[in-house]
Structures are given as C-alpha cells and as structure tokens.
A and B are shown apart, each in its own frame.
Chain A
C-alpha cells in the first residue's frame, strides 16, 4: 500500500488530497471536496503530465530567442529530458507560430512547436 499527498489545483481552495495506491491502482481518494479533485488526484498519481514551455536559440532572426512549447502534455518525469533536447536545438529564422522545432522530443512522441513568429532580421 502506498500513500500519496497532493494539493488539488482545481480552485483556490487547494484541497489536500490523500490517495491510497495498491500496486499502482488507486484504492481511495480522500480530502477532496468536489468531483474535480477526485479526477485530478487519480490522474496525477497514475499518469501525471505537463506542458513544457521554454525557448530555443534562433539565428538570423529579429529576436534573440524563439519561445516554444510541447504540442501536448508530456509525462511529468520527462520534463528535464525534454529540456535537454530543447536546450540543444538551434534553429534559423524565420519561424512561424506552430512550426515544428523538434518532432519527437525525448522519445515522448510529442512535438515541440514555436509559439511566436520570428522574422529574418
């Protein structure tokens, strides 16, 4: 039996939720005051995911850095692997919002895309 403590992010209440797990299966969710908390807690203990946003180096553009994001959620424990790939990239201007910068970041199957336009200087 494993116990996990979480803060719900559903609203400013920030319920402290206790989740009991048995071999990775959720046994109980306690401390939440609404349905949102239950859904959040189950997802957060079994498959926590995040969007990662950062910047990459861009050459020849009218900006020093190109902001990017993972197109979809990636597993939370891959955040730093994703950052490693993002940090190692250099792109050339121009770039448009939505342009794919990395196809499959850190083996997650998720793309990293540009979040603003950068023109050639």
Chain B
C-alpha cells in the first residue's frame, strides 16, 4: 500500500490551495488526486474575469487564478495524479483510487483533505414537466462545451435560474452569437452578483424575470420551445401567466450541491443545511484527520474565500500529521445559526485548538437591509455589526478572537442571528 502524509481529494482551487499551504507548513509527503486530465478544476472553464480581487488584489480570469496556485504546486514539486478517480475513503483514512496507469490502488493517508467541490442540480431534480429532448444543459456543462471543447450547445436560449453561472453563460452565449431570450428566476430575487446582472444581462438587453419558472418543455428530439410562468408566494405557477419562447436550448442554473458521496461512505457526518461535512474550528470533520474545504464543505460565492478556507484546512492537516494540532479534552463550544442565519462553518470550536482569530462563515436565508449580524455568547450579545445589505447569494462572516473567548471559560453556545436592531 502506498503511504502519504496528506492525501488531497480534488485538484481544483480548494485542493491546490490546501496542498500549497500544507507544504508551506512543512509537510513534504503530499499527494493530490484529480479526476480530470488537468489541475485547476472548474476554474479552467470559468474564462471570465472577476477572480482574485481579495487574494491577489487584481482581477483575473478563472484559468489565470488557477494557474497562480498550479505554479506553486509545480515549483514545490507537490505530487499529483491526474485522470484518477477516488473510489472510496475509509474511516481509517485508506484512500482507494483508480486510473489507467496504476489500476486500482490504496493509499494510507496520515490526513485526508476533502476538496471534491460541488455539482449542479440537474433538470430531473427540479421536477420540471415536459419532454426530455436534447438541448437541456446545466449551465456548467454548457460552459465546458463552449469554453473548453469549443462547441455551441445551441442558438436560441432560455435560462432558468439566475445564479452566477447562469448569468455568465447568458453573456458568453450572446458573445458567441446566440440569442438569449430570457432568464427566469423562481425566487423573487436573484442569487447572482449585481455586477453580473448588469454586465451579463442588462448590457445585452436580456430580460430577467423574477418569480418565474419553467412549466413546459416542448420538442421531442431537440428543444423547440419553453414556456415559463409567474409563480405565487407558494412557488406554484399562476395559471394565465404563461409565456412561450421558441428556442433550441434550455440552460439550468438552479443551485449547486456539495459532492459528498465519498465523505458519506467514509462515515463523515453531514450538515443537512449545507449538504457538506460538519466541521470543527480546524475544518476537521467528524472523522479525526479528515479535513474539508471549498465547495464540498459549503458552496462559496467567491473563489478567494475557497482559497482562504483551503489554506486553513491544509495547514491544519499538516499540523495533524506533525502532531502539533493540540489534542484537547475540553468540551467544544457549539455554534448555532438561527433567525435569518442558515448555517455556520465551523459548527464547533475547541478553544485549545483555535488560532488567535477564527473566521466563521455563514449565509442568510433572505434579503436583509439595514440589519445587524449579532453574535451571542450564551445569552449575552457580544457583537452587533450593522450591515446595509445581506443577501442569500453572498457569504457572510464574523471573526472571533481567541482572547475574547478566553474571557468566557464556561461558554457553551455561540449563536449567530440577524436582528433588525
């Protein structure tokens, strides 16, 4: 059996940043397993700009951003295997993988970093009625076809879902000569960035219809028309509001799902809200020595935050194998998200193991204007941060100080909620 100190599952932005951080923290024996034929993950197909403002203070395209990390992986001679699918991870950190050259092989890992990313919600999971012809793509699949393979999925396009990938693809298809007729969004607000709504839709006169969904797909062989309708507060289509668009393509940008099948089979506990692993302050899952970061942990809005989070996971994995991650019998503090806050990452904090500062990331469940992010230590409100605007599409964060927590030795629960005043 092969043996590595750290095995990283996935060579996208999270896996790359974790690998680089673990090496910089002093771990030599690292192996990245990537299922695609190149490193970089989904960033390779995100050829638009807008990445890296936080990390590099400049605006990069996806491939450029990925390459910044890939360069470090190459420079530091971190090992990686491409075209390699991880088939299983066991609770005692034996990773089973397979590729053409090595066949099926096992690796005993000192620590594992889960960085598998997420996948798109397919048409089938959306309960959209109608035919099942060619011409229905998740936005990411269409993005791969256009940007990497160089194929046009179609000429006349309707898009369901106004997530950022859908918006980006509306512009991308338009620039390549397609006609994007409408973007329909089930919710009364878009989960996409304002900048993308303006620069991907408004710039090209593409209408965005909020509170609308697809109610019929026509075309037995290839999509020939799509009907959308307005939905009421119950999310059900309102009869009489149907609008039919002739088109040959329907793109779906209706949410991302962390890809945790491997985590599940390993026995990692998952959070039903995020569909990602439950992690502690060290981004360690319920299985000791198994860490998680990036979109497999919770879906991020900006890749910069993925890199930041992955760096922590890589550092902590390195500490774990070097046995410098403090062991502690101290009872962990629970983090609870409520009243507007949907979840937190992490969900527990052991103060013995935390750094001086700990970033807690979370998302809100609705649009909040002129509201406060409040942090309670048990019943006492400790932080009260005014926010002009918070939206479900954007990740929020609060930073906890170790020295502040030290003032509350009996603290059981930290609660994060959104308050009007």
Tell me if chains A and B make direct contact, with any CB pair below 8 A.
Answer: yes
Which residue numbers of A lie inside 8 Å of B, CB to CB? 6-14, 33-34, 50-55, 57, 63-65, 67, 69, 76, 79, 83, 97, 115-117
Whether A11 touches B389, Cβ cut-off 8 Å, given contacts A55-B47, A79-B175, A97-B67, is yes
Cβ of B146: which chain A residues have Cβ within 8 Å of it? Answer: 55
Sample of 5 more A-B contacts, CB < 8 Å, known A9-B195, A13-B194, A67-B63: A53-B47, A54-B175, A55-B150, A63-B148, A117-B67
Mask: chain B, 52-90; 1 = CB below 8 Å from A; 0 = not = 000000010101100100000000000000000000000
Q: List 10 A-B contacts (CB under 8 A).
A: A7-B194, A9-B193, A9-B195, A11-B388, A12-B389, A13-B369, A51-B59, A54-B172, A63-B148, A67-B61
Whether A69 touches B49, Cβ cut-off 8 Å, given contacts A12-B193, A76-B203, A97-B67, is yes
Selected from B147, B176, B198, the residue in CB contact (under 8 A) with A9 is B198
Q: Is the CB of A116 within 8 A of B389?
A: no
* B197 interface contact, C-beta 8 A: yes
- Give Cα A79–Cα B194 distance, bound, in whole angstroms: 20
User: Which of A52, A67, A97, A117 is most buried by chain B, counting CB atoms within 10 A of its CB?
Assistant: A67
Q: Is the CB of B175 within 8 A of A83?
A: yes
Selected from A52, A54, A64, A97, the residue in CB contact (under 8 A) with B148 is A64
Q: Is the CB of B389 within 8 A of A13?
A: yes
Cβ of B61: which chain A residues have Cβ within 8 Å of it? Answer: 53, 67, 69, 115
Q: Is the CB of A50 within 8 A of B393?
A: no
* B202 interface contact, C-beta 8 A: yes
* B265 interface contact, C-beta 8 A: no
Selected from A34, A67, A76, the residue in CB contact (under 8 A) with B147 is A67
| CB proximity to A under 8 Å, residues B191-212 | 193-195, 197-199, 202-203
- Give Cα A79–Cα B176 distance, bound, in whole angstroms: 12
Contacts between the two chains (Cβ within 8 Å), count? 80
User: Which of A7, A12, A76, A97 is most buried by chain B, counting CB atoms within 10 A of its CB?
Assistant: A12
- Give Cα A65–Cα B390 distance, bound, in whole angstroms: 38
Chain A residue at smallest Cβ distance from B393: A12
Q: Is the CB of A53 within 8 A of B49?
A: yes
- Give Cα A57–Cα B176 distance, bound, in whole angstroms: 13
Q: Is the CB of A9 within 8 A of B67?
A: no
* B48 interface contact, C-beta 8 A: yes
- Give Cα A116–Cα B194 distance, bound, in whole angstroms: 27
Cβ of B394: which chain A residues have Cβ within 8 Å of it? Answer: 12
- Give Cα A52–Cα B49 distance, bound, in whole angstroms: 8
Cβ of A12: which chain B residues have Cβ within 8 Å of it? Answer: 193-194, 367, 389-391, 393-394
Minimal beta-carbon separation of B334 from chain A (angstroms): 29
Cβ of A115: which chain B residues have Cβ within 8 Å of it? Answer: 47, 61, 63-64
Q: Is the CB of B175 within 8 A of A52?
A: yes
Whether A14 touches B175, Cβ cut-off 8 Å, given contacts A53-B49, A117-B67, is no
Q: Is the CB of B199 within 8 A of A50?
A: yes
Cβ of B393: which chain A residues have Cβ within 8 Å of it? Answer: 12
- Give Cα A116–Cα B59 distance, bound, in whole angstroms: 15
Q: Is the CB of B203 within 8 A of A67?
A: no
Q: Is the CB of B199 within 8 A of A9?
A: yes
Minimal beta-carbon separation of B397 from chain A (angstroms): 15
Cβ of B199: which chain A residues have Cβ within 8 Å of it? Answer: 9, 50
Cβ of B147: which chain A residues have Cβ within 8 Å of it? Answer: 55, 65, 67
* B44 interface contact, C-beta 8 A: yes
Minimal beta-carbon separation of A60 from chain B (angstroms): 14
